[in-house]
A = this chain, B = another copy of it.
Amino acid sequence: MIIILRPSASQADADQILQRISDCGLKPLCLPGTERVVLGALGDERKLGALHLESHPAVERVDAVLAPYKAVSREMHSASSVVTIGDFPVGSDRFFIVGGPCAVEGLDPLRLSAKVVKSSGAHALRGGAFKPRTSPYSFQGMGIEGLKVLRQVSDELSLPCITEVVEVADVEAVESYADAFQVGARNMQNFRLLTALGKATKPVILKRGMAASVEDLLMAAEYIVSEGNQNVILCERGIRTFEKGTRNTLDLSAVCQLKKLSHLPVLVDPSHGTGVREYVTPMACAAIACGADGVLVETHHCPQEAFSDGAQSLLPAQFEAMVNQLKAFADAAGRVI
């Protein structure tokens, strides 16, 4: 339910209504806007009827949210949300470019890759310390040690850093080192992890699962937001189809869908989306052109030596060229880089 307050409503009115929502067992949500305050009530909507909020003097209107997802829907929050990572406003008119290796492989290698990211003009550093790998015999990441390395390089270069979290027990550690969480495609419906992240405060980049519909992705985001963490960023990274010429099929129309249905920022990962180095830059350009708020791109100072995903990692010169191409498209896309 959306409870739209009158322009004349006071903060005390809002607080009182939020309390009543909470008292009847629903989750209250406060969405302050520039013109008026909008409140949300998440959960079994039948309970709300008993409150008769539509007759409260501070309430202008009570609307049902038709979509199965509520807090993340544009119905509830018509203005686009901006989520801040480091000091970068993701979802604003600034286009967000994140670069870095698939995995943190050590201090020196990460520093080399991160310098490329920084000097190219990108805005944040990515790198996995906990790696979900298809095979138990593949490199599984450096763990906590990797988080420390990531923090150190991030600080040295003043680049906020993003890293994957794969397990409830790691949420606290990851939050203490990184500037934003990433939830990978394989964990998009790990609901316990989502719930735990809903109780954290740092931003969460939530990647679409390989078999997840756009609606499934929004429902997964709802798990996080409904627990209280509104700093969620969605990420299209390709779905599984019959086509074998690319690792996945990057579904850019999902960007259009997500921007229409939700107020959350939307990123695109053309590296996992295609799995082929030479398709990454054109698909990053397509992403800015169709309305994405940023891209997550793998780059490695020496891809042939990468512990994982070398074939899709841009070479340093390619990463720099990609940033320049994105700059060329930014103006037409109404974006600043």
Say yes or no: is A250 at the interface (Cβ < 8 Å to chain B). Answer: yes
Say yes or no: is A253 at the interface (Cβ < 8 Å to chain B). Answer: yes
Q: Contact at A252–B211, with CB atoms within 8 Å?
A: no
Q: Give the docked Cα–Cα distance between A134 and B68 (Å).
A: 10
Q: Which of A77-85, A150-158, A214-222 contacts B (4 or more CB under 8 A)?
A: A214-222
- In the complex, per-residue mask of A48-72: 1 if CB is within 8 Å of any chain B CB, else 0: 0000000000000000000011100
Given the contacts A209-B211, A290-B285, A254 and B243 also touching, CB distance less than 8 Å? yes
User: Contact partner of A253 among B254, B274, B331, B333, CB < 8 A?
Assistant: B274
Interface residues of A, count at CB 8 A: 74
Q: Contact at B273–A282, with CB atoms within 8 Å?
A: no
Given the contacts A136-B222, A136-B226, A274-B256, A245 and B213 also touching, CB distance less than 8 Å? yes
Q: Contact at A289–B282, with CB atoms within 8 Å?
A: yes
Q: Give the docked Cα–Cα distance between A246 and B249 (Å).
A: 14
Q: Contact at B239–A246, with CB atoms within 8 Å?
A: no
Q: Which of A31-39, A116-124, A184-192, A315-323 contacts B (4 or more CB under 8 A)?
A: A184-192
Say yes or no: is A325 at the interface (Cβ < 8 Å to chain B). Answer: yes
Given the contacts A169-B169, A213-B243, A252 and B250 also touching, CB distance less than 8 Å? yes
Say yes or no: is A98 at the interface (Cβ < 8 Å to chain B). Answer: no
* Shortest distance between the CB of A24 and any CB in chain B (Å): 15
* Shortest distance between the CB of A157 and any CB in chain B (Å): 28
User: Contact partner of A249 among B137, B241, B282, B328, CB < 8 A?
Assistant: B241
* Shortest distance between the CB of A252 and any CB in chain B (Å): 5
Given the contacts A134-B189, A169-B168, A332-B332, A256 and B282 also touching, CB distance less than 8 Å? yes
Say yes or no: is A104 at the interface (Cβ < 8 Å to chain B). Answer: no
Could you write out 25 A-B pairs with CB less than 8 Å apart?
A: A134-B219, A135-B219, A136-B195, A136-B223, A167-B168, A169-B169, A186-B190, A213-B244, A214-B243, A239-B249, A240-B240, A243-B251, A249-B249, A249-B251, A253-B273, A282-B289, A285-B290, A285-B332, A286-B286, A286-B287, A286-B289, A288-B289, A328-B331, A329-B332, A331-B332
Q: Which 6 A-B pairs have the closest CB atoms?
A: A211-B211, A289-B289, A328-B332, A286-B286, A286-B290, A186-B189
